[in-house]
């Protein structure tokens, strides 16, 4: 049965301005610079430069005898003066320059569309472009080496297909039987396992050493076989990898020494040789092509004789203003009553409003970041004074949100992608947030403090007999921390520290 009824609901929706603020709030300094550049390119009503008062604007727009204007455009360190003055004495001057016409801002062929970008550079202007160079990729290097081999067209195509199946680590982890089916259906090339095995062995002779291996054991063996001269420790290392790879990976060195009948000194030389090998040969070329990104801090905390000072890193962020030319255009077109002028007014007003919203959002971002970081600084004041992690207090997002009277999600946006530079280093803001842990005296301490003690204990342990999780738990409990073994194991994993057996050394 159909039924009509009236309902009244109360909904909360974010305005476009609020959405824009939230997006700007979570951007770090480097990304904000790019975002401002994009806005400057897309919105012609937004300009770089300090905001000027009305007196300055009146001086910049002086009316000439012909009723036109001379406007000086600020371009950073250089200034460009645009003179639009009609001179009846110049016969070559076009008559269309006598006044601003509406068709200068419209494309007659496509209706009313307004130009938002213009190229003001001349043919003689110097073009300064930063060239970017990039070497050949990992697969390209292998294909180049394959092309240098005396192969016919069939074997080259099969070898190239094999290279295409090597993963980014440099391993051939696919089964050769599956490759036979793929190349038959995909490339219409018939081959067999023997032919693929021969070509794979050829590829395994390419650089970097170890490429084309099917597992870690084969990868290490390929690299050891390429080492010259074949010293006694190299030969022994090949035997260890070939016959005792499982014990070696689990660091059961005593078992290996007994089976091979060697002493600890000889085994140390073997361990040194094997640990020098590259378990991911494909990554050796990828590292050189990886983009190195410098961390740009968003906040700067300085210690001036025991007094902490906080500043927001504005870096190369420009001062923004609404284009005075667009404001004048809006006034000129507002006086006209025809339909085309109304459309121009609507377009210009929309661009001016968008520029104002963007500037307001940047200002609000500035205040929000400072208020939030100031609250974090006050909460962790003892740590920022000396950098001792044991002075870090328990702190969660709600603690800071209550102090600055903001939503937890807003504080999270500030903390997740922002860095603060101190005299002890540059840290991700999120790293200062931690849960609490109680002591025997009932005091609540930060889990960062417990992790620091745990890390120091492991750093000072005897590597021949590393501390187990049970022993680490006992050390922390003796210091007065109420902590369980599983919690110690969790903190150790968060610190990316392996278990005791994997930390063992001879």
pLDDT tens, residue by residue, 355-400: 888 888 888 888 888 889 999 999 888 888 888 877 888 888 888 9
Least confident span in 41-50, 311-320, 335-344: 335-344
Helix (H, G, I), strand (E, B) or coil at 171: strand
Q: What percent of the chain has pLDDT over 90?
A: 10
Place of tokens 């997006």: 23
Convert the pLDDT of each residue in 439-458 to its tens digit: 766 666 777 778 888 888 88
Work out the average pLDDT over 110-127. Answer: 47
pLDDT of residue 96: 40
List the alpha helices (DSSP H) in 281-380.
282-289, 324-334, 339-379
CA atoms within 13 A on the CB side of 432: 34
Per-residue pLDDT, 87: 43
Distance CA 500, CA 506 (A): 13
Beta pairing partners, 70: 62, 83
The secondary structure of residue 133, as a DSSP letter, is -
Contact 328, 59 (CB under 8 A): no
Taken in order 166, 172, 174, 178, the sign of the CA dihedral is positive
Ranking 92-96, 217-221, 377-381 by mean pLDDT, the lowest is 92-96
**What is the residue-averaged pLDDT of the chain?**
77
Strand 307-312 and strand 299-304: the pairing is: antiparallel
Query: Which SS3 state, helix, strand or coil, does residue 299 take?
Result: strand
DSSP structural state of residue 291: P
Any idea how long the chain is?
506
The tens digit of pLDDT for each residue in 276-299 reads 888 888 876 554 444 455 778 888
Axis-axis angle for helices 193-203, 176-187 (nearest 10):
100
**Is the predicted pLDDT of residue 126 greater than 50, yes or no?**
no
Q: Which long-range contacts (CB under 8 A, 24 or more apart) does 431-436 make?
A: 432/376, 432/380, 432/383, 432/392, 432/395, 433/395, 433/396, 433/397, 434/392, 434/394, 434/395, 434/396, 435/394, 435/396, 436/394
Residue 148 binned pLDDT confidence (cut-offs 50, 70, 90) = very high
Measured distance CA(329)–CA(325) in Å, rounded: 6
Based on C-alpha coordinates, what's the Rg of the chain? 34
Residue 447 or residue 144, greater confidence: 144
Indicate the helix (H) or strand (E) that contains 300. Answer: strand 299-304
Q: What is the pTM of this model?
A: 0.54
Residue 202 has pLDDT above 90, yes or no: yes
d(CA 455, CA 460): 9
The residue to which tokens 């995909």 are assigned: 186
pLDDT, tens digit (0-9, with 9 covering 90-100), for 228-272: 878 888 888 898 888 888 888 888 888 888 888 888 888 888 888
Q: Which long-range contacts (CB under 8 A, 24 or more apart) does 175-183 make?
A: 176/200, 183/158
pLDDT one-digit tens code per residue, 32-83: 888 888 888 888 888 877 655 545 544 444 444 444 333 433 433 433 333 3
For the CA atoms of 421, 427, 428, 434, the dihedral, rounded to the nearest 10 degrees, stands at -120
Helix (H) or strand (E) holding 202: helix 193-203
Lowest mean pLDDT among 74-88, 200-214, 337-351: 74-88
Element (H, E) at 200: helix 193-203
How far, rounded to the nearest angstrom, does the alpha carbon of residue 58 sit from its chain's CA centroid?
A: 45
User: For 160, which DSSP code?
Assistant: H
* Residue corresponding to tokens 């009553």: 337
pLDDT at 1: 67
pLDDT band at 92 (very low <50, low <70, confident <90, very high): very low
């Amino acid at each position: 049965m159909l039924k009509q009824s009236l309902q009244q609901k109360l909904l909360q929706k974010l305005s476009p301005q609020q959405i824009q603020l939230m997006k700007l709030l979570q951007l770090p300094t480097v990304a904000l610079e790019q975002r401002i550049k994009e806005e400057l390119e897309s919105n012609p009503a937004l300009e770089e430069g300090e905001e000027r008062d009305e007196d300055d604007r009146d001086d910049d727009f002086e009316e000439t005898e012909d009723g036109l204007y001379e406007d000086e455009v600020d371009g950073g360190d250089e200034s460009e003066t645009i003179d639009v003055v009609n001179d009846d004495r110049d016969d070559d001057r076009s008559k269309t320059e006598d006044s601003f016409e509406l068709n200068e801002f419209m494309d007659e062929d496509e209706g009313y569309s307004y130009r938002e970008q213009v190229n003001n550079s001349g043919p003689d202007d110097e073009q300064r472009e930063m060239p970017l160079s990039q070497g050949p990729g990992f697969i390209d290097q292998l294909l180049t080496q394959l092309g240098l081999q005396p192969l016919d067209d069939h074997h080259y195509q099969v070898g190239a297909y094999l290279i295409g199946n090597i993963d980014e680590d440099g391993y051939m982890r696919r089964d050769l039987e599956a490759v036979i089916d793929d190349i038959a259906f995909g490339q219409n090339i018939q081959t067999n396992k023997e032919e693929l095995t021969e070509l794979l062995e050829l590829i395994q002779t390419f650089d970097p050493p170890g490429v084309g291996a099917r597992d870690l054991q084969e990868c290490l063996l390929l690299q050891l076989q390429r080492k010259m001269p074949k010293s006694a420790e190299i030969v022994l290392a090949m035997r260890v990898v070939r016959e005792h790879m499982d014990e070696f990976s689990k660091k059961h060195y005593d078992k290996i020494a007994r089976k091979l009948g060697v002493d600890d000194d000889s085994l140390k030389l073997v361990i040194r040789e094997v640990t020098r090998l590259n378990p991911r040969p494909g990554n050796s070329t990828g590292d050189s092509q990886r983009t190195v990104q410098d961390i740009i801090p968003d906040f700067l905390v300085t210690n001036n004789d025991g007094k902490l000072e906080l500043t927001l890193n504005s870096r190369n962020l420009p001062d923004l203003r609404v284009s005075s030319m667009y404001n004048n255009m809006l006034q000129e077109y507002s006086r006209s009553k025809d339909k085309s002028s109304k459309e121009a007014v609507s377009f210009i007003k929309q661009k001016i409003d968008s520029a104002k919203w963007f500037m307001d959002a940047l200002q609000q971002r500035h205040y929000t970041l400072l208020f939030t970081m100031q609250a974090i600084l006050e909460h962790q004041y003892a740590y920022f004074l000396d950098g001792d992690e044991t002075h870090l207090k328990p702190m969660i997002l709600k603690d800071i949100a209550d102090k600055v009277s903001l939503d937890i999600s807003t504080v999270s946006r500030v903390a997740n992608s922002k860095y603060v530079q101190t005299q002890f280093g540059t840290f991700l803001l999120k790293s200062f947030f931690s849960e609490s842990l109680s002591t025997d005296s009932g005091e609540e301490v930060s889990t960062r403090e417990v992790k620091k003690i745990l890390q120091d204990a492991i750093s000072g342990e005897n590597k021949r007999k590393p501390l187990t999780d049970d022993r680490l738990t006992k050390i922390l409990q003796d210091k007065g921390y109420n902590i369980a073994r599983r919690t110690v194991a969790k903190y150790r994993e968060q610190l990316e520290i392996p278990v005791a057996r994997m930390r063992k050394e001879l």
